[in-house]
Structure 1
Amino acid sequence: MNLVIVESPAKAKTINKYLGSSYEVLASYGHVRDLPAKNGSVDPDANFQMIWETDPKAASRLNDIAKALKGADKLILATDPDREGEAISWHVLEVMKQKRALKDQKVERVVFNAITKQSVTEAMNNPRQIDGALVDAYMARRALDYLVGFTLSPVLWRKLPGARSAGRVQSVALRLVCDREIEIEKFVAREYWSLVATLATPRNDTFEARLVGADGKKIQRLDIGTGAEAEDFKKALETAAFTVSLVEAKPARRNPQAPFTTSTLQQEASRKLGFAPSHTMRIAQRLYEGIDIGGETTGLITYMRTDGVSIAPEAIPALRKVIAEEYGSNYVPSAPRQYTSKAKNAQEAHEAIRPTDVSRRPAKLKARLDNDQYRLYELIWMRAIASQMESAELERTTVDITAKAGARTLELRASGQVVKFDGFLAVYQEGRDDDPEDEESRRLPAMSEGEALKRESLAVTQHFTEPPPRYSEASLVKRMEELGIGRPSTYASILQVLKDRGYVKLEKKRLSAEDKGRVVVAFLQKFFARYVEFDFTADLEEQLDKISNNEVAWKNVLSDFWRDFIGAVDEIKDVKVSEVLDVLDAMLGEHIYEPRADGGDPRQCPSCGTGRLNLKAGKFGAFVGCSNYPECRYTRPLAASSGTSDRVLGKDPKTNLDVAVKAGRFGPYIQLGEPNDYAEGEKPKRAGIPKNMSPADVELDLAIKLLSLPRDVGPHPEDGEIITAGIGRFGPFVRHGKTYASLEAGDDVYTIGLNRAVTLIAEKIAKGPSRRFGADPGKEVGDYPARGGKIMLKKGRYGAYVTIDGINATIPDDKEPDQITLEEAIALIEARAAKGGKAKRAPKKAAAKKAAPKKKATAKKKADSEPESGAKPAKKAATRTAPKARTSTAKPAAKTAAKAKPTAKKSAGKARG
């Protein structure tokens, strides 16, 4: 019997079918060990000794592997074909050695790029040993991320209250977003004008031509800068005679794009399908691991974490055959196309992403896939097909036109394009983030030199230049790849971390920097400038690649990095928080304090008039406050130009007080009057602005309505208690006592009457308690005889979970809840039970509450400050000295689980690379 180890149970089932009864295939469920979230897990003073701790969730699985190994002749490690996969195999092997489960068994490492019977069989026939260089590269990357996260994050907590964490690559990606925000803020719009004439040929065919020259001088896009200049050209064109001076037609070819890499797949799925990179990778993982087709689970695409653009030679004939069958032999080029990557530091260790069997047309699989799986598979299939098709043949035509107006000679130009042969365009055309009208795509009528033209109309249009667009998720991934920052497998997790930390927000498919993110980047650029430089980060990635190629020693790379990094950390230890805030206040001044229309001091407090605004730090992050605090309590968010700066809307007709939109520390709100308009101790009336509404869209009438809430609707007919109407966290509602009922479509919170309110409340009472948070009846996963019942899958307030007998186990982020298997659910339940996961009784809750104050600050730091790797930070800043009693080897699984009781942390396997 041969024992095979893979990463996921889905792969284990499929591969077991392929290999037959002489093989037993078990899943490791990703990484089985990680660096514990505590000081000293990586010790620079002990030659970067690393302490590995077995994940409690993996302990039982490792025991199962050890038991199965006792009766096996050979251990075959078949985890994913990348650096992380190599590391998982190494970890499993190390644990087996510690358990002394390995005797005389032979150990082999195999890799396959696709989960098909042919690929798996070929891999088994070509085993190798674990690649030590790849493991070294993994350890170097893991140590770097740990050292940066666990050393830099505590500095942020102390110097920037409210900041959560900083990561080696995460911070550089955040800088890209923040730099773009600065470009937008500094942008000054420039006026320019265009003149476009609609002309007609003698055959009455019309087309458009643009003014490009006058009196022997070329006119560029921005050259006509005023309306007066445009009017001067307009007068000349209105009296001009138009003649064709040149007709030039040139053939052109457009070649297809290479098949997908991880990065380009994420970009195109974002542009064309609207998928977030993390969602794209979850679906791709499922397609790679396999879908049930005709009773057999089969991998539909090759491995989806790659920066290689080549296609395996044995797959190309099938692609060419399908092209000929679907589109004709003239769409098949004379020789297969070969691609090389232009990405910086591209490894190209694996082939591009393609269908494992291109004859599986998307339409035939539609019934077997859910909608998102089908759309992504179709995208991959079309891109792979197009990459091996003939080029598109075009004809680009340019027509120059002379306009004679007295002594003046003006020049116009029209451009057009005709597709003579569509080639790969019959299947696929790459998407674009910005898709302006392409003048060259227009087809021009037939014309000849010297032919007279008639002017039909003349359009004179004013334009203003626009700032560079904010990054979309696709364009940010593309920019990171161009700079050599991160690796294909890390892009999705980096973007997710930035959103989860509240450093960026995604609106209308564009990423904008939040104030919290801008402060963190400004801090890093001032005190850790080298570590957020693009070249430095890319060079470090190159060093990691050299480690994997066995060109440099991994500990030498760590030593060089740590020496300078810890020096920079030591330099800021004695800097006071007030000094840090003063530096950031100066750096972010243009962002924080916009010039005033009256030319006054932009830092003058608009509330008291005598105080000076400056940057302050609080529990929830940085904000702007008045220097006269506590006498003046004026505060607002950092960005003065966020659309929420103070704006008086008009007078309230009842009180004659000003109604204004104001910017508060916790967001925009509406206020009636000022504090000095009220009696001592009385506060101005305020109203929140609904989440789905922009402060800039609030006008006086709406503001007065919002200030009227909550409003009394009338007494309830049964008990006489007043029913009120208002807008809350979940939208408009009516309330009677402790019963809240949401308004339905057609109900108006400002005008709803008593009868309708009573009806809604009665219907709500009849429905029973709200199921908004966790009352989901659930979906059955399967029987669990060991505990005598069924495991249920439910959706709770904090995400999906599986439950049985009062034990609730959260489903990891990298797992699709609907795809969870019974085996995975049991493993999650057992791991949770081992940590005391059963619902606690009231006395235990009281005891826990009593002890809570001692751990409150530490728990807050743990919750808010996860480093990039996903591991939660320790209670104290990382030190450079490891406890002497520790060793570099992991403790046996049972002892580790019983003694360490580590904080919950995400496996590094979730954030690849």
Structure 2
Amino acid sequence: MSKNVVVVESPAKAKTIKKYLGKNFEVLASYGHVRDLMPKEGAVDPEHGFKMKYQAIEKNGRHVNAIAKALKSADFLLLATDPDREGEAISWHLLELLKEEGVLEDKAIQRVVFYEITSQAVNEAVAHPRDISLDLVNAQQARRALDYLVGFNLSPLLWKKIRRGLSAGRVQSPALRLICEREKEIDAFKVREYWTLEADAAASKQEFVAKLTHLDGKKLAQFDIESKDQALALVDRLTKAASGELRVIKVERKQRRRNPAAPFITSTLQQEASRKLGFSTKRTMSVAQQLYEGVDIGDGAIGLITYMRTDSVNLANEAVGEIRNFITERFGQSGLPAKPRTFKTRAKNAQEAHEAVRPTSVYRVPEALKPHLKPEQFKLYQLIWRRTIACQMKHATIDTVAVDLNTQKLAPEGGNSASGHIFRATGSTVVDPGFMAVYQEGRDDIKGEEEQRKLPPMKEGDRVTLLQIRPEQHFTEPPPRYTEASLVRALEEFGIGRPSTYATIISTLQQRDYAVLENKRFQPTDVGRVVNRFLTEHFNSYVDYDFTARLEDELDAVSRGEKVWIPVLEEFWGPFSARIQEKEQNVSREEAVQARELGIDPQSSRPVSVRMGRYGPYIQIGSKEDEEKPRFAGLQPGQKMDAITLEEALTLFKLPRELGFTPGGEQVSVNVGRFGPYVKYDNKYVSLRGEDPHTISLERALALIEEKKQADANRVIKVFPDSGIQVLNGRYGPYVTDGERNARVPKEQAPEALSLEQAQALINEAPVKRARRKAGTRKKAKG
């Protein structure tokens, strides 16, 4: 009997699938990607048809070797990586490596795809294989090439113009723009005061609250009552007009239906897990991956949910039938709508062959699985299970009632209510909870509907007791900062990225220190704002939301075989590369960092500015052109470039601070220079990283000095007296130096065993260090 090798991405997935396929199948894991672009300039060559230079991922080499070894005695290779572009690309890259190994001759190669890891789904996929989709592979290659071209061309420009270590990304940068623009809205927001009047009333011995909606027959606008004095005057006027009673002039009853939310797609799963469970997008996807690949629930591992990277809200007919049967058994026929619910997918390129994220069987009830699941697995599975059940349940029925009440004297019985002052009371009661008995969708930054509030029975003409009229003070609020959930929703709405990229986008913004989460809300950092300003000013079209969405649409068209990927890259690269060259030549660093002028220092009459330096934000008094050198001070933790005032800036110059002396009698002081804060002792310097120069103690400074002395001592491997030659430990390994030239010590050579002659020979072969150009000098024009 022939032997088959099946390749998947992860060992967990391999273990689960092996159980379903039996002894004639050897299931191996690639451990993710096996090949990627070379991490250096030129890996994508626009001059030669965007030729891409790949290299094997070293850490996964042994897994590829294991697959190659297994294939030598096999007849079939089945590629069962994930059912998306990424999975398709992994399979294709693996084939390319196996071709190089020469192990694919006379082998049948087939691609199998399944969206849930259950016995039926896996065996059905194996029974109906297909070829690798080059459309999906090319869409992934195009995406990878674009990300590379942006990163390897725009990031170095940021290094030159702002500071080293920065990066820009094709989808990361528009996401940063969203966060920064929201912060600008908040900064520009002007708070306004307004007041409302509420009446505490009672009918049939039941108290309720009504809000003033009309004054003198005119509907009140938000800012019609703007001050406390105005509010109190109205309270007095309306209290006298009512004389202790309000009259019911209108009762409006309605019954409304609320329908359940669609089953989960990737973005809505991330949003709900953030709102309800407090999970980050990265954590949500990690736990969902575990549930998809398989969990041992007592009789071996089984996939508990369908594939979690999807933008389709479709459910398979078999799944809908099972859900409806479960609802009937659990809630009775009354819990079921007459027809199965269908939902419309909003995503432009939703892959309808995919399903929504759902349990592989709703009969695996969360509580029954709880003993076998980790706490976070249980929470996420329960969320997915409840949403799935609810989406096929009957609507909820809610009774609402609105009662308008008028003051008595201005609207006598039979009079025109439009000429009076109207208070409105509202109430609602759930008549039939329907799907709400199982699940209700969370909401972001929207004040929830008023809790169920039952009003006393009232009819037109009734008089109710007025207990008091209360003035309530309010202030307008700025738009809220993004949470992870609301940022994912915004990315989806703008078409920035795709479901599989949201978690990476968010984690990259945090890793690059472009944004921080404070109280579960994103705030841009100073460096994030500077980078965003630079990109929006000089590369606006490339961080434009519409441009980014259109490019995503074109990549989707490539995946569907409607566009060819090379022309898509050509259309992007021409204008983009020209823009890079133009900005590199014409934008100075001063323009890029966009210093903010704060005012004039009253002591020196020199300008004070805040700017972004290569080591972080700092305050500068004076300018390079002054005869006297500028003075510098770093910002303290919590201080922001866009918010710091002149007065706050000047207080940062209470330096240098004299701290005392070392045990050897060397004076110790602390100060801030252009390159950040430092401790000085005996004309030597120790950089302060993460330390506040305004508060650092002598004890801490001495500890840092001792660490520096130890590091300097360990740096010297060998000294050749009278020659000026030393063997030192460097950042990239041991090297020989005479102060003018540096030469690496060969790997096979023990640095401590070098002779003077060997050291001299290494130095003679090394190039002379280029002299640094003095600040302010410029190359002279030729001629």
Normalising by structure 1, report the TM-score. 0.70
Amino acid at match of 2:632: R
> What does residue 15 of structure 2 align with?
13
Alpha-carbon distance, 1:197 to partner: 0.7
Please report how far the alpha carbon of residue 854 of structure 1 lies from its aligned counterpart in structure 2 after TM superposition. 7.0
Whole-angstrom CA distance in 2 between matches of 1:249 and 1:573: 67
Q: 1:473 is matched by which residue type in structure 2?
A: E
Task: Give the unaligned 5+ runs of structure 2.
Answer: 412-418, 659-666, 673-692, 708-726, 745-783
C-alpha displacement of 1:347 = 3.6
Letter in 2 for 1:280: T
CA deviations 1:279-333 (Å, max 9, x no partner) are: 1111110111111121411111110011111111111122112222222221111
Rounded Cα–Cα distance in structure 2 between residues aligned with 1:335 and 1:79: 36
**1:258-277 matched pairs, under 5 angstroms:** 258-277=262-281
CA distance in 2, matches of 1:430, 1:359: 22
Q: Of the candidates 279, 285, 289, which is equivalent to residue 285 of structure 1?
A: 289
Q: Identity over aligned residues, as a percent?
A: 47
User: Is the 8 Å Cα contact of residues 644 and 661 (structure 1) preserved in structure 2?
Assistant: no
For 1:415-430, list aligned pairs within 5 A: 415-430=426-441
1:405 and 1:709, CA in 2 relative to 1: closer, same or farther beyond 3 A? farther
Amino acid at match of 1:524: L
Deviations 1:494-549 (A, max 9, x none): 10000000000001100000000000010001111100100000000000000011
- Is 1:138 aligned to residue 149 of structure 2? no
- C-alpha distance in 2 between matches for 1:178 and 1:208: 41
- CA deviations 1:703-755 (Å, max 9, x no partner) are xxx999859xxxxxxxxxxxx8x9x9xxxxxx9x999xxxxxxxxxxxxxxxx
Q: Are 2:627 and 1:633 equivalent residues in the alignment?
A: no
1:643 positional shift: 7.5
Letter in 2 for 1:287: L
Higher deviation after alignment, 619-628 or 26-35: 619-628
Q: Distance in 2 between matches of 1:420 and 1:546?
A: 48
Q: Is the 8 A contact 2:292 2:303 kept in 1?
A: yes
**2-structure distance, mates of 1:505, 1:387:** 35
Match of 2:735 among 832, 844, 850: 850
Tell me, yes or no, if the aligned pair for 1:484 and 1:538 is still in contact at 8 Å: yes
CA distance in structure 2 between the partners assigned to 1:25 and 1:708 by the alignment: 60
Distance in 1, Cα, partners of 2:317 & 2:309: 20
Give matches, 1:350-429, under 5 Å: 350-405=354-409, 409-429=420-440
Take 2:141 and 2:230, find their aligned partners in 1: how far apart are those partners? 65
| Equivalent residue runs for 1:173-192 within 5 Å | 173-192=175-194
SS in 1 for 2:428: strand
Kindly indicate whether the alpha-carbon contact (under 8 Å) linking 2:622 and 2:630 is maintained by their aligned counterparts in 1.
no
Q: CA deviation at 1:855?
A: 11
Query: Residues 672 and 453 (structure 1 numbering): CA distance in 2 closer, same or farther, change over 3 Å?
Result: farther
**Using the alignment, how far apart are the partners of 1:437 and 1:44 within structure 2?**
52
- Is residue 64 of structure 1 aligned with residue 70 of structure 2? no
Match of 2:253 among 249, 252, 272: 249
Answer whether contact 2:194 2:473 (CA < 8 A) is retained.
Answer: yes
How far residue 577 of structure 1 moved from its aligned partner, in angstroms, is 2.8
For 1:412-437, what per-residue CA distance to the aligned partner results, in whole angstroms no more than 9, with x for missing partners?
11111111100010011111223536
Partner of 2:371: helix, strand, or coil? helix
Q: Using the alignment, how far apart are the partners of 1:429 and 1:362 within structure 2?
A: 17
Q: Cα deviations across residues 608-660 of structure 1 (Å, max 9, x unaligned)?
A: 45121235342224444222573533453796587875879xxxxxxxxxxx9
Please list, as runs of the form range in 1=range in 2, the aligned pairs for 1:658-673 lying within 5 A after superposition: none
In structure 2, the residue matched to 1:160 is: 162
Q: For the structure 1 residues 17 and 673, does the alpha-carbon distance in structure 2 shift closer, same or farther, using more than 3 Å as the test?
A: closer
Offset of residue 458 of structure 1: 1.7
Render the CA deviation track for 1:346-397: whole Å, top value 9, x for unaligned: 4444100011111111111111111111111111111111111110001111
CA contact (8 A) 1:645 1:663 kept: no
- Decide which of 540, 551, 570 is 1:529's aligned counterpart: 540
Write the mapping of 1:592-611 to structure 2, written as runs, cut at 5 A. Answer: 602-605=598-601, 608=603, 610-611=605-606
Change (3 A) 1:23 1:683: closer
Aligned residues of 2:282 and 2:503 also touching (Cα < 8 A)? yes
Q: Which amino acid aligns with 1:603?
A: G
Q: Find out whether 1:563 has 2:567 as its counterpart.
A: no
Q: Which AA in structure 1 matches 2:264?
A: F
1:573 partner SS: helix
Deviations 1:14-61, CA, capped at 9 Å, x for gaps: 211211111111111111100011121100000111111111122222
- Work out the CA distance in 2 between the residues paired with 1:187 and 1:643: 14
CA distance in 1, matches of 2:35, 2:171: 23
Match of residue 91 from structure 2: 89
Structure 1 match to 2:499: 488
2:211 is aligned with 1:216: no
SS class of match (1:569): helix
Distance 1:683 1:359 in 2: 70
Cα distance change of structure 1 residues 851 and 524 upon mapping to structure 2, 3 Å threshold: farther
1:474 has 2:485 as partner: yes
Give the letter for the 2:620 counterpart. Answer: G
Partner of 2:377, secondary structure, is: helix
Distance 2:476 2:120 in 1: 57
Pair 1:497 & 2:508 matched: yes
Unaligned runs of 5+ in 1: 586-591, 594-601, 649-659, 665-670, 676-680, 687-705, 712-723, 729-734, 740-841, 857-913
| Alpha-carbon distance between aligned partners in 2 of 1:432 and 1:60, rounded to the nearest angstrom | 47
Q: Matched residues in 2 for 1:708 and 1:18: separation?
A: 64
Separation of aligned partners in 2, 1:673 and 1:194: 55
- Could you tell me which residue of structure 2 aligns to residue 697 of structure 1? none
* Residue identity in the other structure for 2:611: K
Verify the 8 A CA contact 1:625 1:634 in the aligned structure 2.
yes
CA distance in 1, matches of 2:742, 2:321: 68
- In structure 2, what is the Cα distance between the partners aligned to 1:253 and 1:456? 34
Count of matched residue pairs: 676
- Give the distance between the partners of 1:485 and 1:663, measured in 2 at CA: 41
Q: Is the 8 A contact 1:252 1:394 kept in 2?
A: yes
- Aligned-CA RMSD value: 3.1
Who is 1:445 aligned against? 456
CA drift of 1:452 comes to: 0.6
Q: Do 2:482 and 2:522's aligned partners in 1 also have CA atoms closer than 8 Å?
A: yes
What's the CA shift string for 1:127-183, capped at 9, x where partnerless? Answer: 111111101100100000000000100111011124510000000000000000000
Closer, same or farther: CA 604–341 of 1 in aligned 2, 3 Å: farther
Q: Decide which of 434, 441, 466 is 1:455's aligned counterpart.
A: 466
**How far apart are the structure 2 equivalents of 1:626 and 1:302?**
61
* Counterpart-to-counterpart distance in 2, 1:366 and 1:223: 55
2:338 to 334, 340, 347: 334
Q: Matched residue of 1:58: which SS?
A: helix
Partner of 1:866: none
| Contact 1:415/1:440 (8 A) holds in 2 | no
> Contact 1:12–1:27 at 8 Å: present in 2 too?
yes
Per mean C-alpha deviation after superposition, the further-off stretch among 516-525 and 436-445 is 436-445
Whether 2:539 is the aligned partner of 1:538: answer no
User: Do the aligned partners of 2:728 and 2:735 also contact (CA within 8 Å) in 1?
Assistant: no
- Looking at structure 2, the residues matched to 303 and 281 of structure 1 have their Cα atoms a distance apart, in angstroms, of 11
Measure, in 2, the Cα distance between the counterparts of 1:84 and 1:640.
Answer: 40
Point out which structure has higher relative CO (alpha carbons under 8 A, 6+ apart): 1
Helix, strand or coil for the counterpart of 1:497? helix
Query: Which residue of structure 2 lines up, in the alignment, with residue 227 of structure 1?
Result: 228
Which among 605, 608, 612 is matched to residue 613 of structure 1? 608
Which of these two proteins has the greater Rg computed from alpha carbons?
2
Give the Cα separation in 2 of the matches to 1:8 and 1:352: 22
Change (3 A) 1:107 1:403: same
Shift of 1:208: 0.6
